[in-house]
């Protein structure tokens, strides 16, 4: 390590010592480190700028590295405490501040009748709140209403807890939605004008404007018909579906269209995107794995068709 590297490390250490290392404020750390680097002798302006950026990367790696480690340890402890309530291979995508909510959910599942076969299959952050994935026997009396009540209880509670640290927080609106405290809100960048208008992302649409289940199925069918209008091969395949696949397509048509149109991830990450989307749909985890696998496969076909449509449209657009 050179003398310059040593001095940069000292500058970063000074920032971490003086400030709470569980919060990252880009402008503040940049000013702090850049002021120190201005005293470095023999450096050009471009070298000083590069060292400032490297200092910021070092601070970010320290802060977020600690957070990831904390999250991993918390999830490991959760699995150890509730091995019967959490399936092997359960996937969790959330910050460490929400892990206690998973513990609360597992504790509640442990009180349910054994005949319900209720298990925590995973959880993820979606639109700033915590969504639980729970499988259970829907034919057991009282199971559906109780499980849905638990999922909603945890979801609403998460909207008052910082996902990053567990302190009191609220839903924030910036380039994305996230529930964080005032200190971690600085990580989100510039907030949008809508910030503070909504306490619950599920209420972004007025309650009276939301369709009933039967209306949602009708709307989903219309959306799917419009989606498939210029996808000849997929439309033809949909028309030949019978039995269970046809029932699944009818039940989840709207969700399939929304997920296909909302996919903006690279092709190599599509498998994870598809699995996460399907897992979050209503009651899907209480279906057989064969049903979920069929939905994942069909969604993948729709996403690839949407990507192909976008490429064709780009080719037809006049050169910029």
Both tokens of 215, joined, read 């209306």
Torsion of CA 235, 239, 245, 246, to 10 degrees: 120
Same domain, 9 and 57: yes
Q: What is the mean pLDDT of the chain?
A: 80
Domain span at 292: 211-316
Q: 100-111 b/e with 16+ CB inside 10 Å = b?
A: ebbeebbebbee
Q: What's the half-sphere exposure (Cβ side, CA atoms, 13 Å) at 144?
A: 9
Whether this model's pTM surpasses 0.75: no
> Is residue 50 domain-resident?
yes
Q: 138-174 b/e with 16+ CB inside 10 Å = b?
A: eebeebbebbeebbeebbebbbebbbbbbeebbbbbe
Kindly tell me if the per-residue pLDDT of 294 is higher than 80: yes
Same domain, 117 and 65: no
> Is residue 216 domain-resident?
yes
Both tokens of 33, joined, read 């480190």
Same domain, 173 and 128: yes
> Is residue 37 domain-resident?
yes
Same domain, 194 and 218: no
Number of domains in the chain: 3
pLDDT in tens, 142-178: 888 888 889 999 999 999 999 988 899 999 988 778 9
Same domain, 240 and 271: yes
CA separation for the pair 201, 263 (Å, rounded): 20
Same domain, 195 and 89: yes
Q: What's the average model confidence in pLDDT over 102-108? A: 93
Both tokens of 79, joined, read 């699995």
Both tokens of 169, joined, read 């927080």
Element (H, E) at 48: helix 45-81
């Amino acid at each position: 390590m050179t003398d310059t590297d040593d001095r940069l490390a000292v500058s970063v250490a000074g920032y971490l010592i003086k400030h709470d290392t569980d919060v990252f404020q880009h402008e503040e750390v940049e000013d702090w480190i850049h002021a120190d680097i201005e005293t470095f002798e023999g450096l050009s302006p471009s070298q000083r700028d590069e060292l400032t950026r490297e200092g910021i990367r070092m601070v970010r790696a320290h802060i977020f590295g600690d957070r990831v480690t904390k999250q991993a340890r918390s999830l490991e402890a959760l699995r150890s405490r509730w091995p019967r309530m959490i399936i092997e291979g359960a996937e969790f995508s959330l910050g460490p501040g929400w892990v206690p909510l998973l513990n609360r959910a597992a504790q509640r599942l442990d009180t349910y009748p054994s005949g319900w076969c209720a298990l925590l299959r995973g959880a993820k952050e979606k639109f700033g709140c915590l969504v639980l994935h729970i499988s259970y026997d829907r034919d057991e009396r009282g199971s559906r209403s109780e499980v849905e009540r638990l999922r909603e209880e945890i979801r609403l509670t998460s909207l008052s807890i910082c996902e990053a640290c567990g302190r009191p927080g609220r839903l924030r609106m910036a380039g994305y939605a996230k529930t964080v405290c005032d200190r971690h809100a600085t990580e989100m960048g510039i907030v949008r004008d809508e910030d503070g208008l909504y306490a619950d992302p599920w209420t972004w649409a007025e309650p009276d404007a939301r369709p009933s289940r039967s209306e949602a199925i009708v709307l989903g069918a219309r959306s799917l018909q419009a989606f498939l209008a210029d996808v000849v091969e997929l439309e033809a395949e949909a028309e030949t579906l019978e039995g269970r696949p046809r029932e699944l397509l009818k039940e989840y048509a709207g969700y399939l269209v929304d997920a296909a149109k909302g996919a903006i991830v690279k092709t190599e990450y599509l498998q994870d995107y598809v699995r996460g989307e399907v897992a979050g749909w209503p009651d899907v985890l209480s279906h057989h794995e064969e049903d979920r696998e069929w939905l994942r496969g069909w969604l993948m076909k729709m996403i690839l068709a949407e990507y192909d449509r976008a490429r064709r449209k780009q080719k037809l657009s006049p050169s910029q």
